[in-house]
Structures are given as C-alpha cells and as structure tokens.
Amino acid sequence: QPALTQPASVSGSPGQSITISCTGTNTDVGRYKFVSWYQQFPGKAPRLIIYKVSERPSGVSARFSGSKSANTAFLTISGLQPEDEADYYCHSYAGSDTPGRFGGGTKLTVL
C-alpha cells in the first residue's frame, strides 16, 4: 500500500494563499471522490478539515478548501494565518474493505 505523495514542506506569509498537493493513482485519488484532509498540531491528534474532496465539517474555517484533478488532490489555505502552521495529511479511499491510503504529510510554515 504505497502512500500518497505530498510535498514535505510548504511555506507562505500571512495573508497569502498556499496549496498542498496530494498525488495518488487511478486506484485511489483518481478513481474516487473520497479524499480527506487532516490538520495536526505538534503533540495533538489529527483533525478532519476536508472530506469528500471539498466538503468542510462544521466549525472549519472557509479559508480551507479542497479540490481534485485527475490523480491529484489539493488543499488550499487562503488568507494564511500564523495559527495555520501545522502538519497536513491527505487520505484517499482505495476500494472496498480497506480504509485507503494516507499521504506522507506536509509541514506548513507561516513565515
């Protein structure tokens, strides 16, 4: 079960927008509309911020948005704020009887 591919790190200044990519294959990201994203602060549990490619759970800021093109999903954070500095993980469904695959994680630094 190879992991989905994410950049190890991204950075941006307050107020800017950044995009994190999550590349899979036509057996996971490319086949299903079930990509989710998780935010994790140091020493804390991951928190769901996007599901079903672009849906936001209640309570998640509208500055977080998701999209997908072919085998790659994207998480965009607009109006970057210092408190967005965290690790971000993507996950994709990969077929029945499996919980799918995680990305390797991306560390976001707000300069």
Partner 1 sequence: VQVQESGPGLVRSSETLSLTCSVSGDAIRSFYWSWIRQAPGKGLEWVGYMFYTGHTNYNPSLKSRVTMSVDTSKNQFSLKLTSVTAADTARYYCAAFSSDWYFFELWGQGALVTVSS
Q: Which of 23, 77, 86, 103 binds partner 1 (CB under 8 A)?
A: 103
Nearer to partner 1, 80 or 105 (CB): 105
The C-alpha atoms of residue 90 and residue 5 are separated, in whole angstroms, by 9
Give residues with Cβ within 8 angstroms of 54, minimum separation 6: 65, 66, 67, 68
41, 62, 94, 110 from 84: Cα distances, Å:
9, 13, 28, 7
Q: Is 99 exposed, middle or buried (0-12, 13-18, 19+ CB in 10 A)?
A: exposed
Question: Does residue 83 interact with partner 1 by CB under 8 A?
Answer: no
How near is the Cβ of 87 to partner 1 at its closest, in Å? 8
Nearer to partner 1, 64 or 102 (CB): 102
Show contacts with partner 1 in window 16-55 (CB under 8 A).
32, 34, 36, 38, 44-48, 51-52, 55
Contact positions vs partner 1 (CB under 8 A): 1, 3, 32, 34, 36, 38, 44-48, 51-52, 55, 57, 89, 91, 93, 97-100, 102-105
